[in-house]
Amino acid sequence: MHERQCAMTNPDPNMEIVTVFESDDQVAFELAKAVLDEAGVEYIVREDPPARFGFSPFLNPFRRILMPASRKDEALALIASAEEDVESGEDEDDEHPE
């Protein structure tokens, strides 16, 4: 299990940390991180290698985004909105024609 601090600096040790996103899909995971980064939401990434397989370049690790429980609802709404945009095929360029 690997834990990498992404945007959370000096978290309070008494703070409740929750998982707001988890996936082995690299694209979905990067999208979720990008949405949170853009909104300025602090988080921690945890990566777990695939069970019983060890490390393999052909298998994606299972990744989780963890953050303070106090910002959980905001993060879930941001991620859900981004997923809806992807599913509907919406593009920022489509919203603002030149």
* 47 within domain boundaries: yes
Rounded CA separation 31/73 (Å): 17
Q: How many domains does the chain have?
A: 1
Mean pLDDT within 48-59? 62
Mean pLDDT within 10-35? 86
* 96 within domain boundaries: no
HEC profile of 13-35:
CCCCEEEEEEECCHHHHHHHHHH
Continuous segment of H or E residues that includes residue 61: none
* 19 within domain boundaries: yes
Enumerate the β-bridge partners of residue 19.
66
Q: Quickly state the pLDDT bin for 48 (edges 50, 70, 90).
A: confident
* 98 within domain boundaries: no
* 97 within domain boundaries: no
CATH number, domain at 30? 3.30.70
Q: Quickly state the pLDDT bin for 34 (edges 50, 70, 90).
A: very high
DSSP per-residue codes, 63-98: EEEEEEGGGHHHHHHHHHHHHHHHHHT--HHHHS--
Rounded CA separation 26/38 (Å): 18
Which residues span the domain enclosing 55? 2-89
* 55 within domain boundaries: yes
